[in-house]
Chains A and B, each alone.
Chain A
Amino acid sequence: MDTSKYLEIFIEETKEHLLELNQSLLQLEQNPGDNSMLDSIFRVAHTLKGMASTMGFNNMSHLTHDMENVLQALKNNEIQISTTLIDLLFKCLDALENYLNCIIENGNEGNNDYREIIYELNNLLNGSASSKNINAKPVTNIGTYKTEPQTVKEHPTANMKISQYERNVINKALSMDMNVFKVTVVLDKGCLLKSARTFIVFQTLEKYSEIIKSVPSVEDLEDEKFDFEFSVIVITKENADLLEKELNSISEIEEVIITQIDSSSIEDKAESDSKEADEEGQDILNAVANIIKEKSEAEDEAAATSVTSRKAKTGKTVRVDIERLDVLLNLVSELIIQKTRLEGIDVGKKSQTFTETVEYLERITTSLHDAVMKVRMVPVEAVFNRFPRMIRDLSKELGKQVILTMSGEETELDRTVIDEIGDPLIHILRNSIDHGIEPLEKRRELGKPDAGRIYLRAYQDGSNVVIEVEDDGQGIDIEKVKKKAIEKELLNKELANSLSEEEILDFLFRPSFSTAEKVTDLSGRGVGLDVVKTKIEALGGTVELETEYGKGTRFIIRLPLTLAIIQALLVMVGDEKYAIQLSSINQIINILPEEIKLVQDQEVILYRNKVIPIIRLDKVLNVVKKEDKPKKKLTVVVVKKGDKLSGLLVDSIIGQQEIVQKSLGKFLSGIKVITSATILGDGNVALILDVNYLT
């Protein structure tokens, strides 16, 4: 089968499933008793197994298969949840992720078969097998049924033992005028997927009946631990012919033998049965009687929840290439521009209908624009959900207990920002665990709780999204930073004392500046915060640091809601309109021409007791002015680049506007003074100035 066209879907879905697996595992670790988590893990493993084998990724399907075995044993309480087990499952997850990455890169799963993990999985199972035997319920031998001798010989599984409890159920069923059959199915010798066939047989039987016993056990059947035949006892309202007909319609089945079980075929010991078994039996019978087609209630419920949870995942989303959204956004922008033109058309006496239509059009286009922008938004959850696992691993590695509390995962950011923000956050989180949270002994000494806490919060603040990373660790020693800065000759001693706390903390964001005394695997190599800062600034955001020595540190990252739309100030230079990104503007001031002084051939002004350079935009941008009357007042836009201020001299201010950023294209990519362009309401293009380059 050519599966290549499904590869993309497989990759996307596997990603989702692995994510779910990750979350469920983490939750299971915290609440080992949570069966719904176990169910969801089991479901994911099962789905992955199916998907992988369909795609022909055999190593992957082997691994998930063995995972499934262990999980099944867990569900049956044959083994208990332990740290080793969770660790092992995490290892499986990593292995699966590696397979997936390999598939993404090379189109095949690679050769790593993770033998050791599979070996460990099986070890766990075998370890449980012996204990299982001890704990196994006592089985009463009640003899065989009236079956033809040669059948017994031929079909060893048909010669099954029936426990007291099961016999009880059978008797009840018979007393309720239901049929009890023993069905022995012999699979074709050439059958390749025995467990799959068995599954189909079970499903078919479950449509019409209730299966109360199977030999070998269901787990063994799923693991293909049987030859080619198995027997089940079913309770049904239907007759044997129907079952036989249905079963025979399944392919790769060699033989179906159905024998009726009546009261004479089992010894009547009902009287001596325990009350408990009786009640249980009654339950099952009720279930059979009421909803013959359904499974037992518990299973039914589990199935129902699994269906709903899956619907929530797949039913509501559509995957769309981001480029298509860009096209859509372009079209919407175009529509808005045309609408603006329509508004401006002078059709003599504008009829009321015309005005109304244009107004209505305006409302629609505005909503349409909002809707399209929203489509590009992705909850930060997409980035956040990999952190719990990372924190877990790091805290184990460093021997520190850490509790990560996340909030605001539903906060939305533009897709492009989401894709970029992951790495900086990882850096900061690592920093917090490695440098922030103290070792256990020290925490105890300080009277802090054993487990360090890290808070990861996201929330919207106006047109920004704020992401905070806070820890209750040791904080940053300002004096140490100061000392280090002096050591590195970034600062001289006299100046050091005049700097504010903020200014000193800013040194942490300088390249190759690390105060950690020992270098660990994680951080302390002096690469880090400067990278974080660069990255976040490239996204149009800012990063701040607040710290209290001994109490903790907080990183505050502010990001624009979207990259495509920015707040900008439109200014006139000569006859030309230019946009300046609002986030880089400090203030707009009016000055008198004589306030401009010359210092070493550079025009400067005094601004808040600081000397800042003046940049005449008309000169820098070669704007040809028709008339150059000396003005009485000059407008200066004070912009900041890092902590450096400069004044941009403009002719007038048009105002603040939300603008859509558009690339100038490759052809003009070499122009440094312009970052990009935007289309104004009248359809004209305005250029966005690159403040960092100008100053």
Chain B
Amino acid sequence: MDVIKNSEEKKYLVFRIGEEEYGADIRKVTTIIEKNMSITRVPRTPDYIIGVINLRGDIIPIMDLRKKFDLPEIEDTEDTRIIIIHIDDILLGLVVDSVVEVVNLTEESIESLSNFSSNLSIEYIFGVGKVNGRIITILNLENLIKLEEI
């Protein structure tokens, strides 16, 4: 990646799963919805694919990130959200505990994972960004989709 781009600021959507904060490139996020619609289970899928929803006429698969990241299940709360991401013709909804905010990060401020430990499998993590002392795990959404095509 070239130098100029590295110092450019990018916006990340920060959301929370359990105690940890995660970030997703906001350009890949289509919309955020509440998790109040009925979800149709799809047979013969991994358990973290909790089903499909109808969002304005589009059928969108929903992935539960808690299940995906092997975290204990919790009941849905008022803050539970589905983040719809759009990558290469694929729409996918990610269930998160809550959506926090949008932050600006330069790419150079995102550290690669080598000096950081996480309970996440490394291919889903793009790096770790720091904002005001908070640590935000930036997800590699492409890999989340690519590696999971069923």
Binding site for B on A (CB under 8 A): 330-331, 333-334, 337, 576, 620-623, 662-674, 677, 679, 683-687
Contacts and interface: CB of A to CB of B under 8 A. Distances in A.
B58 interface: yes
16 contacts: A330-B56, A331-B57, A663-B59, A665-B59, A665-B61, A666-B89, A667-B61, A667-B90, A667-B145, A668-B150, A671-B43, A671-B45, A677-B59, A684-B40, A685-B54, A687-B52
Contacts of B58: 330, 662
Contacts of A665: 59-61, 89-91
Contact of A673 (B43, B61, B90): B43
Interface string B55-94: 0111111000000000000000000000000000111100
Nearest to B145: A667
Contacts of B45: 668, 671
B54 A664 contact: no
B43 A333 contact: no
B60 to A, nearest CB: 7
Interface of B: 37-38, 40-45, 49, 51-54, 56-61, 89-92, 145, 148-150
Contacts of B56: 330-331, 334
A672 B42 CA distance: 11
A673 B45 CA distance: 11
Given A667-B149, A667-B150, A674 B90 contact: no
Contacts of A669: 149-150
Nearest to A573: B43
A109 B53 CA distance: 48
A331 B92 CA distance: 20
A687 B89 CA distance: 21
A313 B61 CA distance: 44
Given A667-B145, A684-B40, 19 more contacts: A330-B56, A330-B57, A331-B57, A334-B56, A620-B43, A621-B43, A622-B43, A662-B59, A666-B90, A667-B92, A668-B42, A670-B149, A671-B42, A671-B43, A671-B150, A674-B43, A683-B37, A685-B52, A687-B43
Contacts of B53: 685
B57 A664 contact: no
B127 to A, nearest CB: 24
B44 A677 contact: no
A670 B149 CA distance: 8
A688 to B, nearest CB: 11
Contacts, number: 85
A337 B54 contact: yes
Given A333-B57, A665-B60, A622 B44 contact: yes
Contact of A683 (B42, B54, B60): B54
A306 to B, nearest CB: 45
Contacts of B37: 683
Contact of A671 (B40, B44, B60): B44
A666 B89 CA distance: 8
Contacts of B90: 665-667
Contact of A684 (B49, B54, B150): B54
A576 B41 contact: yes
Contacts of A687: 40, 42-43, 52
Given A331-B57, A679-B54, A684 B38 contact: yes
B31 to A, nearest CB: 14
Nearest to A576: B41
A663 B90 CA distance: 12
Contacts of B89: 665-666
Contacts of B41: 576
Contacts of B44: 621-622, 671-673
A358 to B, nearest CB: 21
A677 B53 CA distance: 10
A427 B125 CA distance: 53
A340 to B, nearest CB: 12
A680 to B, nearest CB: 9
B22 to A, nearest CB: 20
Contacts of A684: 38, 40, 54
A259 B79 CA distance: 94
Contacts of B149: 666-667, 669-670
B43 A664 contact: no
Nearest to B38: A684
Nearest to B55: A334
B74 to A, nearest CB: 20
Nearest to A672: B44
A55 B135 CA distance: 60
A647 B41 CA distance: 23
A685 to B, nearest CB: 4
A684 B51 CA distance: 12
Nearest to B39: A685
Given A677-B52, A679-B54, A684-B54, A668 B61 contact: yes
A666 B146 CA distance: 11
Nearest to A679: B54
A672 B51 CA distance: 15
B106 to A, nearest CB: 31
A208 B54 CA distance: 68
B92 to A, nearest CB: 6
Contacts of B148: 667
A621 B44 CA distance: 7
B145 to A, nearest CB: 7
Top-8 shortest CB links A-B: A330-B57, A621-B43, A685-B40, A670-B150, A334-B57, A679-B54, A677-B59, A667-B90
A620 B44 CA distance: 9
A334 B52 CA distance: 16
Nearest to B37: A683
